[in-house]
Amino acid sequence: MHLETLKIFCDLVALQSFSKTAEKHLLSQSAVSQQLAQLELTHKCQLIDRKKRPIELTKEGQLFYKAAKDMLDRYEQLRSELNALKSSSGSRINVAAIYSIGMHTLPDYVKKFMVNYPKVNVHIEYLSADKIYELVLTGDIDIGLVAVPKRDKRLDVYDFEDEPLVLACSSKHALSRELQVDIHQLQLERFIGFGKDVPTRMWIDNILQRYNIVVRPVMEFDNIETIKRAVEINSGISILPQTAILQEVSGGTIKAIGFSNEGFVRPTGIIVRKGKILGQAGRYFIELLRKKT
């Protein structure tokens, strides 16, 4: 029995969908069904009641799922322990961050880390939040950095930086001459936001709702760089982390204006798979991030 087959079965149970499981593993739905059928044939029992919607585990399936999860967790623990045995002088830390944190906040921390661990390779990938959670949980990424972190019993979540949120607008926009704005001045403004599945979008939506602000969404993007480009050409305004637009503000293409109502911030966090065993260098890197110095 291959570990990949166990992963497919566990994902099928978690997602309760053959199509979503197939998409996650880059397989056809037929291939997922065949994997499940092979497991049932091997163990001579039915694991899933296919007549129920959403699908449900049989008693045998519940027993098998618990054992499969345990085997996958033990294997992941083994991988972590083997990686931790490597000498720190030749080790590598795999980090994944959402684009805004990876590009604008993380580099200073990496520089400080390299002073004490110059031979450790800090490999950084820029990914969506959903992908970061997935790869941290599978053990393919050691440390994840996300905005508005979710609490998950499978993860250790640590606070990172609270990023000030500001009004971002083109230098040609009427509000660009303001030193501060009342958030009510955004009422019915053309607004460029994050996609609906981006955690920062939900965070900003909550701020607007608290103040009963209705904006006119004109564009939605899944990354901050595209939002900035749209703001620069005066397609609309946005609310963005101040750290992510420092270069544009310095160049005069975007104006960053604080709010007079309160100091709005976007929380960010460090996520690590619970039970993940890191070497000395990895532990130091997390400590450095948590100190925020």
pLDDT value, residue 238: 98
Count of other CB atoms within 10 angstroms of residue 243: 17
Average model confidence (pLDDT) across the chain: 92
Share of the chain above pLDDT 90, in %: 77
User: Can you tell me the mean pLDDT for 39-54?
Assistant: 88
User: Can you tell me the mean pLDDT for 55-68?
Assistant: 92
Is the pLDDT at 142 greater than 60? The verdict is yes
For residue 5, what is the enclosing H or E element? helix 3-15
For residue 279, what is the enclosing H or E element? none
Q: Are the C-beta atoms of residues 185 and 176 closer than 8 Å to each other?
A: no
E strand segments, the chain: 48-49, 56-57, 92-97, 121-126, 143-147, 155-170, 180-181, 190-194, 216-221, 238-241, 254-259, 265-273
Q: Are the C-beta atoms of residues 172 and 234 closer than 8 Å to each other?
A: yes
What are the residue ranges of CATH 1.10.10.10 in the chain? 3-84
Rg (CA), the chain: 23
Burial class (CB in 10 A: 0-12, 13-18, 19+), 27: middle
Q: From 255, 191, 252, select the one nearest 227 (Cα to Cα).
A: 191
pLDDT value, residue 285: 95
pLDDT value, residue 275: 86
Question: Could you read off the pLDDT of 209-235 as tens digits, one per residue?
Answer: 999 999 999 999 989 999 999 999 999
Q: What topology does CATH give the domain 163-266?
A: D-Maltodextrin-Binding Protein; domain 2 (3.40.190)
What's the CATH code, domain 88-160+268-291? 3.40.190.10
Would you state the structure tokens that stand for residue 123, as one six-digit string? Answer: 């490999």
CA distances from 243 to 27, 76, 99, 116, 255 (A): 40, 36, 12, 26, 13
Would you state the structure tokens that stand for residue 31, as one six-digit string? Answer: 């291939």
Q: Name the band, by pLDDT with cuts 50, 70 and 90, for residue 85.
A: low
Q: Are the C-beta atoms of residues 206 and 183 closer than 8 Å to each other?
A: no
Q: Name the band, by pLDDT with cuts 50, 70 and 90, for residue 292.
A: low
Distance CA 38, CA 23 (A): 20
Phi-psi domain of 212 (left: phi exceeds 0; alpha: psi -120 through 50; beta: other): left
Question: Could you read off the pLDDT of 90-110 as tens digits, one per residue?
Answer: 478 999 999 999 999 999 999
Q: Name the band, by pLDDT with cuts 50, 70 and 90, for residue 74.
A: confident
| CATH classification for the domain delimited by 3-84, as one of 3.40.50.740, 1.10.3720.10, 3.40.50.720, 1.10.10.10 | 1.10.10.10
Report residue 286 CA to chain centroid gap.
17
What are the residue ranges of CATH 3.40.190.10 in the chain? 88-160+268-291, 163-266
pLDDT value, residue 201: 96
pTM over 0.95: no
